[in-house]
Amino acid sequence: MDRILLGDNQFFGVNHMSEEKARAQALKFKDVDSIIRVLDAAYETGIRTFMCTTHDKVAEICEHMRRNPDKYKDFQFYPCMPYAHKYADSVTELGMLGALQDFIKGSNIFTLIARGGLAAARFDAVEIAKILIDAEMRMFKGLKTPVIFLQNVIVDLLLGIGYTGIFKEFEKYVNSKYNAEAGYITMNLPVLLPVLEKAGVKNPIICSNINKIGFRMCGGMKEYERLIHEQRFRAVAMSIFASGAIPPKEAIEYVCGLDGVQSIVFGASSRGNIQSSKQLIESFWK
């Protein structure tokens, strides 16, 4: 994995501390060209990986990358799925069947009917999940996706209801179908890690909140620090600035000082912020 990843929260109006900031960011990046300019700035500073949801605008970004293969030959995506808001909005607008038809459009409908019909009849959650993964991954066709993440909205829901066998199935499927490694995003690292180990997921890639003030770190900072130090998994640190509550230098110094953190994903909306964050990360990880 790359050590420095650019995230996408800032592009789609996500801020866990301030709704006002979230609205301002959503307005700033209302058109795809404004997002691409920031991605270009990141690429020019040496950041090659965009960790993103499967938002509809990401599909437009992917199309832009495909139209310019020479310019973005080293660019790669870490897709994070599912994008829950997209599913919820579609179900609200179109209903369950209409939403399913919308998600699978453009695929081999006969294959999907055969797979999906049988899966629905026997409530085969794994087979249904594979269909939805394929639908989500269509936008990345022809692009590099070496790691595919399962979003925390699903990971933590499955943890809560105890339906955890699907984690290994997810790893097997993205390995075989997309030649990618599986990643898992969670709000509760101490609960997820032993579950993945029990399921046979070895040295998993886990993305979780890791920051100096324990912001959204369910289970407590000390337990996170212990698990990271043991290096039983590949840690990707997100929310390192705690939505702006920690000064950048202080935030980055803490995370880089944790022996076992392999990657940092951060959001930035300008070339200057990208450059300064990257320089700080490289200086503390040097």
As a three-state string, the secondary structure of the chain is: CCCEEECCHHHHCCCCCCHHHHHHHHHHCCCHHHHHHHHHHHHHCCCCEEEEECCHHHHHHHHHHHHCCCCCCCCEEEEEECCHHHHHHHHHHHHHHHHHHHHHCCCCHHHHHHHHHHHHHCCCHHHHHHHHHHHHHHHHCCCECCEEEECHHHHHHHHHHCCCCHHHHHHHHHHHHHCCEEEEEECCHHHHHHHHHHHCCCCCEEEEECCCCCCCCCCCHHHHHHHHHHCCCEEEEECCCCCCCCCHHHHHHHHHCCCCEEEEEECCCCHHHHHHHHHHHHHHHC
Give the largest Cα separation in the chain, rounded.
56
4-83+146-285, what's its fold? TIM Barrel (3.20.20)
- pLDDT per residue as tens digits for the range 43-80: 999 999 999 999 989 999 999 999 999 999 999 999 99
- pLDDT per residue as tens digits for the range 87-121: 555 555 656 555 556 655 655 544 554 555 555 44
- pLDDT per residue as tens digits for the range 156-165: 999 999 999 9
CB burial of residue 286 (10 Å; 0-12, 13-18, 19+)? exposed
Per-domain residue ranges of the chain: 4-83+146-285
Share of the chain above pLDDT 90, in %: 71
